[in-house]
């Protein structure tokens, strides 16, 4: 029990420290590749931090020996977007409100492109509803729809890379942690730090999830309850940690873009894996997770569409996760 708790807490700390190296490195990679600041968050950072949960889905559906193991993959594909659309956005709001560095802006409107974020939420919601609808019906050839989801993510990347935006300025970036004496470290060093940090994040995330799966039964929780309630929180820790780090640095735009980009990956890549490897039929708890996610994203869409978003507004998104947890606990 003590060993499990030590690994659980230690892996969480390791994820946070690794994310500091990751966000530092990925910003320098974006600088060298001349990628707009927002695309660095939506594409580069999101792709890296979304790997843990995507791998969970892939391994579960590709190598799962039982139907229960494959169901875990489906739960992960639905649980990830739920955690991001509720808890991750709430963390951004709470960090903004509680950061001493941003004390003078606690009640100010976030310096983000609300119109762009609103479009991202609308784009995600349309794909997610298709993903949810496919899980409610059975018909021959359903697995072919997996290619459409992969194509949708390809279109998203193409659109993000083609959008105009502010480029990173070397003077605005913190010095690369591996090369603190270099004003402008090379792309090779930046890529090395980013990939090394990503590897540690991946291993630490797997350890975190494994310990969570052990702790759950000790607390009297069924595997299904742990998979739906806590595993998504664990696998979304990199995005959440990135958000905390960037908000503390006054870069809430990057924080929100990272979450938005990760949500797009979650709506497409794990879904394609699930469609290729499972019947993709949802149980009632998974349907509940999908419904709460759709509601959360619709609220975010309307919030960003209004053109003004504050940290306090974002904190309310966590209430929907509490509603989901309450309904799930009552059902189970």
| pLDDT tens string 230-263 | 767 766 777 787 788 878 777 777 788 888 888 8
Is pLDDT above 80 for 63? no
Mean pLDDT of 303-312: 82
Place of tokens 């309630």: 229
Mean pLDDT, rounded, of the chain: 78
Confidence (pLDDT) at 170: 53
Confidence (pLDDT) at 297: 93
Write out pLDDT tens, residues 254-291. Answer: 788 888 888 888 888 888 888 888 888 888 888 888 99
Write out pLDDT tens, residues 3-27. Answer: 777 887 787 778 777 877 877 888 7
Mean pLDDT of 178-197: 86
């Amino acid at each position: 029990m003590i060993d499990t708790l030590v690994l659980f807490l230690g892996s969480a700390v390791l994820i946070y420290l690794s994310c500091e190296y990751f966000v530092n490195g990925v910003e320098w990679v974006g600088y060298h590749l001349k990628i707009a600041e927002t695309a660095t968050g939506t594409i580069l950072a999101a792709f890296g931090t979304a790997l843990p949960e995507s791998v969970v889905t892939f391994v579960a559906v590709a190598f799962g020996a039982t139907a229960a193991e494959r169901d875990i993959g489906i739960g992960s594909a639905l649980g990830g977007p739920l955690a991001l659309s509720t808890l991750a956005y709430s963390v951004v709001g709470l960090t903004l409100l509680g950061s001493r560095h941003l004390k003078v802006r606690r009640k100010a409107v976030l310096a983000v492109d609300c119109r762009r974020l609103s479009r991202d939420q609308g784009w995600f919601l349309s794909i997610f509803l298709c993903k949810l609808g496919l899980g409610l019906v059975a018909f021959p050839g359903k697995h072919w729809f997996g290619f459409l989801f992969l194509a949708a993510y390809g279109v998203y990347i193409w659109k993000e890379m083609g959008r105009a935006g502010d480029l990173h300025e070397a003077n605005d970036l913190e010095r690369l942690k591996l090369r603190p004496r270099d004003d402008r470290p090379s792309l090779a060093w930046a890529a090395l730090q980013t990939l090394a940090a990503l590897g540690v994040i991946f291993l630490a995330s797997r350890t975190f999830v494994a310990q969570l799966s052990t702790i759950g039964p000790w607390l009297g929780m069924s595997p299904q309850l742990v998979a739906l309630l806590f595993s998504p929180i664990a696998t979304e820790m990199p995005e959440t940690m990135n958000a905390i780090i960037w908000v503390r640095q006054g870069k809430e735009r990057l924080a929100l873009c990272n979450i938005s980009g990760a949500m797009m990956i979650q709506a497409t890549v794990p879904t394609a894996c699930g469609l290729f490897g499972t019947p993709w039929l949802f149980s009632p708890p998974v349907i509940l997770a999908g419904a709460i996610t759709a509601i959360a994203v619709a609220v975010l869409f309307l919030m960003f569409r209004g053109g003004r978003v504050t940290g306090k507004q974002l904190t309310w998104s966590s209430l929907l996760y509490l509603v989901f947890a309450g309904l799930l606990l009552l059902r189970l």
